[in-house]
A and B are shown apart, each in its own frame.
Chain A
Amino acid sequence: GAGVSQSPSNKVTEKGKDVELRCDPISGHTALYWYRQSLGQGLEFLIYFQGNSAPDKSGLPSDRFSAERTGGSVSTLTIQRTQQEDSAVYLCASSPRLKSLLAGGNNEQFFGPGTRLTVL
């Protein structure tokens, strides 16, 4: 079946402009995550959506960053007034419905290919 898709694959923008990055999770997955990965670095958690619960925004680095998830499916990450330090690959991941450990649940995250953002 189709995996997680992200668009655009590459985005070049000028400092100060706003950008929107899109994530289409795997159908039926209730959890959706956004991460940022700077060149050669690890995964920096940004935001987490789980079903209809309030999102966990604890990883957003500033109020210029926001994200929405409409209808429990597609998500958009918006960066306002972009800065050069925002240049990175933005990864989206989705997970199936939560299950308890007793039910054999884990938290496998299925990642998209990422959007490479370059702020000039």
Chain B
Amino acid sequence: QQQVKQSPQSLIVQKGGISIINCAYENTAFDYFPWYQQFPGKGPALLIAIRPDVSEKKEGRFTISFNKSAKQFSLHIMDSQPGDSATYFCAAKDSNYQLIWGAGTKLIIKP
């Protein structure tokens, strides 16, 4: 009930391509869905987030698509660049203001 399932575990995309990472959840009480980006040797940092009352949020090349009925949300990175190579975590906020984390996706953008 409290899990957030993230896929794929790793992803290789050519420069200029679209990177897509998916997450699914069960708990309908989750009310905030962020994505965090982590570079090697650093802590994760908030990249983009969405609330369940909207279906899409776009910030530059990064877009979250949210499907409330399917309890799924995804991160799309358009025109992927080598500098986007990082590990991406999805998360969901529960009623106790805690974040429930996905397992992470290691993204590699090939030049």
Contacts and interface: CB of A to CB of B under 8 A. Distances in A.
B67 to A, nearest CB: 20
Interface of B, secondary structure class, is loop
Interface residues of B, number: 22
Contacts, number: 56
Interface of A, secondary structure class, is loop
Contacts of B31: 101
Which of A4, A98, A101 gathers most chain B CB within 10 Å?
Answer: A101
B101 A113 contact: no
A111 B99 CA distance: 13
A112 B41 CA distance: 10
B105 to A, nearest CB: 10
Interface stretch (B11-19, B42-50, B54-62, B75-83): B42-50
Interface of A: 4, 31, 40-43, 45, 48, 50, 56, 91, 93, 95, 98, 101, 106-114
